[in-house]
Amino acid sequence: MYSHPNARLTQMGRLRLVNQHLDHGYSLKKLAAENGNSLRSAYRWLARYLSGGPYSLADRGSVRRPQRRTLDPRRFQLAVHHRHQRLHLLNIALL
């Protein structure tokens, strides 16, 4: 993912925030307010860091992980057939 290089909390800024909390004992509430972020985000970054290290602070995509890409050919042909019969997409999805 691309972050603007001058963004306040890029991967390096998040690492700095987490290190200030862990190494120097600053409160996450204070650090989040100084950086213009929510306390919830600060806790999220702390949890990511503790579970995966500094590389886990990189931006992530917003697509859900187990996203299915295609239908199997039989179901695809059935959906095309029902669409030609002018069924609504909701009805086709429920089949």
Judging by beta carbons within 10 Å of its beta carbon (0-12, 13-18, 19+), is residue 66 exposed, middle or buried?
exposed
Would you state the structure tokens that stand for residue 55, as one six-digit string? Answer: 């590389």
Which tens digits make up the pLDDT trace of 36-55?
889 999 999 999 999 999 99
What are the φ and ψ backbone dihedral angles of 85, each rounded to 5 degrees?
Answer: -85, 10
Segments making up each domain of the chain, as ranges:
11-57
pLDDT at res. 69? 72
pTM: 0.61
60: which 2 tokens? 């992530």
User: What's residue 76's pLDDT?
Assistant: 86
pLDDT value of position 89:
81
Cα(81)–Cα(23) distance, rounded to whole angstroms? 63
54 in Cβ contact with 15 (< 8 Å): yes
Q: Output the six-digit token pair for 24.
A: 């120097």
Mean pLDDT of 82-91: 86
The stretch 6-32 carries a mean pLDDT of 89
